[in-house]
Structure 1
Amino acid sequence: MIALLSAPTNLGLRPLRPTTVPGTAKAPEALREAGLYARFAELGARDAGVVLPGRYEDDARPGRLRNQDAIIDHSRRLAQRIGKIRAEGDAPLVIGGDCSLLIGCGLALRPTGRYGLVHLDGHTDFRNPGNSDACASLAGEDLAALIGRHWPAIADIDGLGPYFDPADTVHAGCREDDQEMAEVQEAISLTIRAAEILQDGVAATAARIRAQLDRAELHGYWLHVDVDILDGAVMPAVDSPDPGGLSADQLAGLVAALAPGAVGGDVGVFDPDHDPDGRYARLLVDVLTEGFGHLGQGRRY
Structure 2
Amino acid sequence: MIALLAAPTNLGLRPPHPSSVPGTAKAPEAFRETGLFARFTDAGARDAGVVLPGRYADDATPGRLRNQDAIVEHARRLARRVAEIRAAGDVPLVFGGDCSLVVGVGLALRPAGRFALVHLDGHTDFRNPGNSDACAALAGEDLAAAIGRHWPAIADVDGLGPYFDPADTVHAGCRDDDQELAEVEEAISLTIPASAIIRDGAAATADRVRERVERADLDGYWLHLDVDILDATVMPAVDSPDPGGLLPDQLTELLAALAPGAAGAHVAVFDPDLDPDGRHARLLTDIVTDGLGQLGTELKPAAAHNAER
Q: The TM-score by the shorter chain falls in which range?
A: over 0.9
> Are 1:168 and 2:150 counterparts?
no
- Superposed, 1:272-283 pairs within 5 Å as 272-283=272-283
Q: Which residue of 1 aligns with 2:249?
A: 249
Higher mean C-alpha deviation, range 59-68 or range 209-218: 209-218
Please give the per-residue CA displacement for 1:10-59, whole angstroms capped at 9, x wherever unaligned.
00000010010000000000011011101101210010000000000000
Q: Which residue of 2 aligns with 1:60?
A: 60
- Superposed, 1:1-301 pairs within 5 Å as 1-215=1-215, 217-300=217-300, 301=302
Please give the per-residue CA displacement for 1:143-197, whole angstroms capped at 9, x wherever unaligned.
0000000000000000000000000000000001100000000000000000000
Counterparts of 2:212 and 2:57 in 1: how far apart (Å)? 40
Q: Does structure 2 retain, via aligned residues, the 8 Å contact 1:122–1:226? A: yes
Higher mean C-alpha deviation, range 170-179 or range 216-225: 216-225
Q: CA deviation at 1:216?
A: 5.6
Q: CA deviation at 1:214?
A: 3.1
Counterparts of 1:221 and 1:96 in 2: how far apart (Å)? 19
Q: Give the match's secondary structure for 1:78.
A: helix
Q: Does structure 2 retain, via aligned residues, the 8 Å contact 1:5–1:93? A: yes
Counterparts of 1:247 and 1:166 in 2: how far apart (Å)? 28
Q: Give the match's secondary structure for 1:174.
A: coil
Report sequence identity in percent.
75
Write the letter of the residue equivalent to 2:161: G
Write the letter of the residue equivalent to 2:87: A
Q: CA deviation at 1:215?
A: 4.0
Q: CA deviation at 1:213?
A: 1.7
TM-score, length of structure 1 as denominator length? 0.99
Q: Give the match's secondary structure for 2:260.
A: helix
Write the letter of the residue equivalent to 1:147: I
Write the letter of the residue equivalent to 2:246: L
Q: CA deviation at 1:234?
A: 0.6
How many residue pairs match? The answer is: 301
Write the letter of the residue equivalent to 2:111: P
Counterparts of 2:269 and 2:262 in 1: how far apart (Å)? 20
Q: CA deviation at 1:2?
A: 0.2
Write the letter of the residue equivalent to 1:4: L
Write the letter of the residue equivalent to 2:27: A
Q: Give the match's secondary structure for 1:123.
A: coil
Counterparts of 1:216 and 1:56 in 2: how far apart (Å)? 41
Write the letter of the residue equivalent to 1:177: D
Counterparts of 2:44 and 2:252 in 1: how far apart (Å)? 19
Q: Does structure 2 retain, via aligned residues, the 8 Å contact 1:168–1:216? A: no
Counterparts of 1:262 and 1:294 in 2: how far apart (Å)? 9
The structure 1 segments of at least 4 consecutive aligned residues displaced by more than 3 Å after TM superposition are none
Unaligned runs of 5+ in 1: none
Q: Does structure 1 retain, via aligned residues, the 8 Å contact 2:116–2:168? A: yes
Q: Cα gap change, 1:216/1:147 in structure 2, threshold over 3 Å: closer, same or farther? A: farther
Write the letter of the residue equivalent to 2:56: Y
Q: Give the match's secondary structure for 1:119.
A: strand
Counterparts of 2:263 and 2:131 in 1: how far apart (Å)? 32
Q: Give the match's secondary structure for 1:118.
A: strand
Q: Does structure 2 retain, via aligned residues, the 8 Å contact 1:228–1:242? A: yes
TM-score, length of structure 2 as denominator length? 0.97
Unaligned runs of 5+ in 2: 303-309
Counterparts of 1:299 and 1:125 in 2: how far apart (Å)? 28
Q: CA deviation at 1:299?
A: 1.4
RMSD (Å) for aligned C-alpha atoms:
0.6
Counterparts of 1:103 and 1:232 in 2: how far apart (Å)? 26
Q: Does structure 2 retain, via aligned residues, the 8 Å contact 1:27–1:272? A: yes
